[in-house]
Amino acid sequence: MHTQRSTLSAVAVAVAALGLLTACGTEKAGSEGSKEVGGAPEASLAGQKWQVESITVDGRTTKAAVGAAHVAFKDGKATGNLGCNGFGGEAAVEGDSVKVGKLIRTQMACGKKITGFENRAIEALSDGSLKAAVDGDRLTLTAGNGDRIALTSKPAAPLVGTKWKVGSVVDKKAARSLPKEVDAHLTFGKDGTVRGNLGCNDVTAKADVRDNGKIELGSAGATRKMCPGDKMKTERSLLALFGKTVDYTHEGDRLTLTNPADGKGAAAKAATDAKPGAGEKSGAGEKSGAGEKSGAGEKSEPGAQTGSVSNPDGE
C-alpha cells in the first residue's frame, strides 16, 4: 500500500487508469464550463456512486474506458475503484467545495504507461479545493486551473449479463455500421461464457472477463448456416475476435471490443428491446442462442460445433 497527499488524485487516477487501459482517443474540449447549480450540492453528492466518464487536462478530454471506475463521498471519506486500482481517503464537502486529503490506493501492476499517466494526472490536478457542480444525474469537479472530471450517477449497464447489440465493426481503421437487417449480439455470462449471434450463426465460446480491460475469448463454437452477403461479412469480422485476448472499453451502455494486434473490432450498445441475456441460456449441455433465429424464415442447423470455426464462406 502507498500513501500520497493529493486533492484531485482520488478521482483523477480513476480516469487516468481507465483512459490508458485501452487506446482511447482524445478530443478537444469546448470552452463552455460546467453548469452552475443553485444551493449547496453536498446533499446530492453524499451517498451517490458516481461513475467516471472523462477527465479534461490542459483542454484535452480523455474518456474513461471501463465502466467500473467510480467514486463515492460518504461519512467524510472518498472511496472507489480506479478501474485498475482501488482507493480510499479523507474527503470534505462544504457547499460547492470538495477537498480530498490523504489518499491510500492499491498498487496493482497496471503497466508502465498507466502508472506514468496516473502520476502525471495526480501532479497536474493537485490544485487545492475542487468546485462541484451537480446537474441532475451529472457531476463536474473542476480544479482552479480549469482541469475537470465529468461523472454521472446513472448506473452503467453491467458488462456481464447484458445483451450487447453490435452496431458497427471496425475493419482496416474504418468503422462500418451494420445494416438494419443484421442482428448481431453477444451476452457474457457469469459462467465464463459468451453467447449470441454473429449476424448469421449462433455462437458460444469461453470468455474470461478481466478487470484490467481485457477479455480472453476462446475458440468460437457456432452453427454452420449460409446467409446473404452483409450477414456473412459481419460474421467474418466478429469471428476474427475469437481465440484471442481482446481489449474492451465499457462506458455506460456502450461496449467496444478491439484486437490490439490489428486494431480491428466491434462496437455494441446495451439492448433496450429485451432483458439482459433474454432468450439465451448458459447451462451446460444447452444450445447457444436457444430460441433465436439467425435469418428470416430460416432455421439453424442442429448440432452446433464446439471446436474452432472457420469463416462460413471458406475465407
Q: Do residues 9 and 129 lie in contact, with contact meaning Cβ atoms separated by under 8 Å?
A: no
Number of DSSP helices (H) and strands (E) in the chain, helices first: 4, 21
The whole-number average pLDDT for the span 165-186 is 87
The whole-number average pLDDT for the span 158-179 is 87
The confidence score (pLDDT) of residue 119 equals 54
Q: 0.85 exceeded by the pTM?
A: no
Three-class DSSP labels, the chain: CEEEECCCHHHHHHHHHHHHHCCCCEEECCCCCCCCCCCCCHHHHECCEEEEEEEEECCEEEECCCCCCEEEEECCEEEEECCCCEEEEEEEEECCEEEEEEEEECCCCCCHHHHHHHHHHHHHHCCCCEEEEEECCEEEEECCCCCEEEEECCCCCCCECCEEEEEEEEECCEEEECCCCCCCEEEECCCCEEEEECCCCEEEEEEEECCCCEEEECCCEECCCCCCHHHHHHHHHHHCCCCCEEEEEEECCEEEEECCCCCCEEEEEECCCCCCCCCCCCCCCCCCCCCCCCECCECCCCCCCCCCCCCCCCC
Counting residues of the chain whose pLDDT is more than 90, the rounded percentage is: 25
The confidence score (pLDDT) of residue 43 equals 60
Cα(250)–Cα(67) distance, integer angstroms? 5
Range in 192-201, 239-248, 302-311 with the lowest mean pLDDT: 302-311
78 or 38, greater pLDDT:
78
Counting residues of the chain whose pLDDT is more than 70, the rounded percentage is: 60
Cα(153)–Cα(41) distance, integer angstroms? 14
Q: What is the DSSP letter of 280?
A: -
Q: How far is CA 260 from CA 23, 213, 263, in A?
A: 9, 12, 5
Domains, in order of start, for the chain? 43-152 (2.40.128.270), 162-270 (2.40.128.270)
The model's confidence at residue 136, banded by pLDDT at 50, 70 and 90, is confident
Residue 91 CA neighbour count, 13 Å, CB half: 29
The three grid cell numbers given for residue 198, joined into one nine-digit string: 454473429
The model's confidence at residue 40, banded by pLDDT at 50, 70 and 90, is very low
The model's confidence at residue 234, banded by pLDDT at 50, 70 and 90, is very high
309 or 169, greater pLDDT:
169
The three grid cell numbers given for residue 40, joined into one nine-digit string: 449547496
Which range, 77-86, 98-107, 275-284, has the best average confidence (pLDDT)?
98-107
The whole-number average pLDDT for the span 264-281 is 66
The confidence score (pLDDT) of residue 301 equals 37
pLDDT in tens, 94-115: 888 888 776 777 776 665 545 5
